[in-house]
Amino acid sequence: MLYLAALVLGIVGGLRAVTPLAAVAWAAHLGWIDLSATWASFIGNTITVVILSILAIVEYVGDQLPTTPSRKSVPQFAGRIILGGAAGLIVGLPAGTGLAIATLILGVIGAVVGTLGGFEARRRLAAAFGRDLPAGLLEDAVAIILGLLAAYFA
């Protein structure tokens, strides 16, 4: 289940870069994941949870703006890979270094899949809706729900 959770967190990172870390922070804060014996124990701190939640909300708003760069541009793509991989790494930490490296890799793979697949899915949904906003809002909801589910089951 841990491997699937890391992969899904990476996919979520491809949809919305900050969401997987925010979901992991909430999971640690709520006691779903025990990171207390790891270097990442700070992520469950209330201040960290609030900061990551605010950053995620800012990203949701910014993503709806027509001037937002494509997720496939190099800086956007790299950020999604880094944050998706980081979320995968963090959920694997309690299981040991070997598994954490595997979950990091799965997070990175998921971020690539989520970035490219999310781009295509949103493009098609926007065409079906006749405008981008409903597709973007649906993508936000999917990212939040999948992120929390993956963090819960990690």
pLDDT in tens, 26-75: 999 999 999 999 999 999 999 999 999 999 999 999 998 888 898 999 99
Domain that residue 13 falls in:
2-153
Alpha-helical regions (H) of 31-96: 46-63, 74-92
Distances (CA, A) of 40 to 1, 12, 76, 94, 111: 20, 20, 24, 10, 20
Work out the average pLDDT over 95-124.
95
Spatial separation of the C-alpha atoms in residues 95 and 70, rounded to whole Å? 35
Q: What is the pTM of this model?
A: 0.93
Structurally, the chain folds into a number of domains equal to 1
Spatial separation of the C-alpha atoms in residues 110 and 105, rounded to whole Å? 9
Work out the average pLDDT over 98-105.
94
- pLDDT value for 61: 94
Spatial separation of the C-alpha atoms in residues 58 and 129, rounded to whole Å? 24
